[in-house]
Structure 1
């Protein structure tokens, strides 16, 4: 998988990452770009990325493999058509997707949601705090359904880094 091909997939997916409704013409152009990029390079990594963005969450291994088989056997246009028919996609269409490039993502869900200060929470808080001071990191937690990551809210960030009042939710 080359950097150029990965850049093409990412560029093609940028149109799909927001929550704004695309016009029919914009949707067709975005679909065409994605079909071209996927037909050019149809690795499992790219299929996972496409499913993650279009599905607004992390797909299972079985979903990635099934989509990959469809891509290999029927092509990218058939895959996108199949994905567009899935009712599950409509349930999460409101979620905005942020594509992070070359980013350090730190999952601090438990530490952001609890005021516990036992060993592991202290280690997680201190490590996260030090990293946040000296590196560009993105602190994240999981959505309530556990299917996608999201950035911490300010109160969650305070809890994760300083042990402030816990945030539940």
Structure 2
């Protein structure tokens, strides 16, 4: 395991898992949100983000956390392992709301500089509709690579906890 992708619905625990797994594996973590978002929630252009990704993907080892579905197949090509957090919308929505409350007025550790925690209807709607709008695209992309990539699909938090516990043994 040298080049790892961690993908899934917002609120599924991708960043938390990536940081914990990085500590256990000694593989550096890349939180894509910290590269994509400029101060004040200004996004990179597609061209800027693609250039950043090209440089990041050439690193020898990494755990890359983030969806960014437009670039998923490109990133999967470089990865040897993919972890997909396929959790219920209820759990993800609960975690997104909890995160917003707990980080009120703050910028999360894994986020771009000066991107104070926020939530709006559009974001809530994207979490709620993640399975309907993005899951099939992810599953199709992963299916193309199942023969030559390690693909792990987590459907419950217990599976993640067991993976981390067994990995550290």
Question: Normalising TM by the smaller chain, what interval?
Answer: under 0.3
Structure number with the higher strand fraction is: 2
Comparing both chains, which one has the higher relative contact order based on Cα–Cα distances under 8 Å and sequence gaps of 6 or more? 2
Higher-Rg structure is 1
